[in-house]
Amino acid sequence: MKNYTKTTIGNEGRAELHETLALTGAEVSVNQLPAGVGVPFVHAHKNNEEIYGILSGKGKAVIDGEEIGLAAGDWLKIAPCAKRQFFAANDAGITYVCIQVKAHSLGGFTADDAVVY
């Protein structure tokens, strides 16, 4: 059995990777919104914080009523309880990755969790 899983993402509007990569500690999705389009609902979470990375384009997030401009290269962490909604700009689409993990669950990272051989 291999110790990795690989998948390829095409041009879907939204690709969730938890099933295709058999993720066990996070949910990861890649999302594309065309110019002038927004996610059609506001949402929050019970336990999971979300980390958003803007891969290309521009738009905005509305978090607890506050508008935050977004552009390629921006990263944003949102607490579970925050109400959020995302929109592409009227003149440009936006592509972003969303990483969802249980808040306060990180036990170690990078060098702390690495085993060097």
Average pLDDT over every residue of 50-67 = 97
What is the mean predicted confidence (pLDDT) over 21-26? 90
User: Which 8-state DSSP code applies to residue 89?
Assistant: B
Task: Give 28's pLDDT tier (boundaries 50, 70, 90).
Answer: very high
Q: Which long-range contacts (CB under 8 A, 24 or more apart) does 67-72 make?
A: 70/94, 70/96
Predicted local distance difference test score (pLDDT) of residue 36 = 98
